Amino acid sequence: MPTAIRIQQTGGPEVLEVAEVEIGPPGPGEVVVDVAAAGVNYIDTYQRSGIYPMTLPYTPGLEGAGTVSAVGAEVTEVSVGDRVAWQGHPGGYAQQAVVPAQIAVRVPDGVSDETAAATMLQGITAHYLLNSTHAVAEGETVLIHAAAGGVGLLLVQLAKAKGARVIGTVSTEEKERLAREAGADEVIRYTEEDFAEAARRLTGGEGVDVVYDGVGASTYEGSLKSLRRRGLLALFGAASGPVPPIDPQRLNAGGSLFLTRPKTDDHVATREELEWRTRELFEAVAEGSLGIRVGARYPLAQAREAHEDLQGRRTTGKVLLLP
């Protein structure tokens, strides 16, 4: 039987257990994928710890890539033998995964399985943040937290491609180097100076047009302080913990600010929208204008170590599990 990571109860990384699982034939509208690579994301840690409740037991992993080995009835999107990638459905931490065909997209030639797996969830996140949450325009200034992280490096590259001025925040010299290599115009080490004050200084006191904040509790107040009048805070994650309730008057006092908490499901609600976002991402990867940095690879059995390193901020770029 294939091997998978199973979670029997919520808790820390120690609840990630290796187990053999039986994969039955796919049902109507489903496909079985022989997983070549699975992405590790912060949302996996939220689900594992119980912040985002899941029905137990379950196999974590909301994105992956591999080859279709079986298809169920009524499947028209992909065929046996196709290389596919998906995001938004648990089960990626496994040698085989059953995936709804509706969310499986073909991986084009020129894009490897590892790169495809590393592109899906974080790439789609970066795409909708820059194109839908706030359509970044040439000449705007954006502030991107964790600019050397998986989403951060993609946001930096895609924002620069749109002609924006990019300010990134990082914690170390090495991460500053990565952010600058991705195209960041200015990099703030938040461990050495107040990033909100620095953002104001770098914009002549005006503030930035938009802040992309996936960190949450430790940054959101400074993010609001970094915005120009009528600026937007896109709060898309909570790596440092959930943000407490915000009094709407705080947005008023800050200069008629906007606050949004987007999620991926609402931005790939149709097959057409999913294909649009993944097509643009894969085309950019294949032509070399979007670099996908895989910062760490772990065997499937080392899922616990992968979570520990991710939450300990010891990783840069994308973290993958290789079944």
Q: What is the pLDDT of residues 120-130, one digit of tens each?
A: 999 999 999 99
Query: How high does pLDDT run on average in the chain?
Result: 96
Tens-place pLDDT, residues 66-80: 999 999 999 999 999
Predicted local distance difference test score (pLDDT) of residue 26? 97
Predicted local distance difference test score (pLDDT) of residue 317? 78
Helices (H), the chain: 42-49, 113-128, 150-161, 173-182, 195-202, 220-226, 248-253, 271-287, 303-311
Tens-place pLDDT, residues 135-150: 999 999 999 999 998 8
Chain length of the chain:
323
Tens-place pLDDT, residues 251-307: 999 999 999 999 999 999 999 999 999 999 999 999 999 999 898 999 999 999 999
Predicted local distance difference test score (pLDDT) of residue 250? 97
- Judge contact between 184 and 156, C-beta under 8 A: yes
Predicted local distance difference test score (pLDDT) of residue 239? 83
- Is pLDDT of 42 > 90? no
Tens-place pLDDT, residues 5-19: 999 999 999 999 999
- Judge contact between 237 and 52, C-beta under 8 A: no
Rounded to an integer, the average pLDDT of 40-60 is 94
What does the buried/exposed string (b/e) look like for 277-309 if buried means 16 or more CB atoms within 10 Å of the residue's CB?
bbeebbebbeeeebebbbbbbbebebbbebbbb
Whole-model pTM?
A: 0.91
Q: What is the dihedral of CA 33, 34, 37, 43, to 10 degrees?
A: 40
Instruction: Give the DSSP letter of residue 8.
Output: S
Rounded to an integer, the average pLDDT of 183-209 is 97
- Is pLDDT of 238 > 90? no
pLDDT band at 48 (very low <50, low <70, confident <90, very high): very high
CA within 13 Å, CB half, 238? 15
Rounded to an integer, the average pLDDT of 219-241 is 95
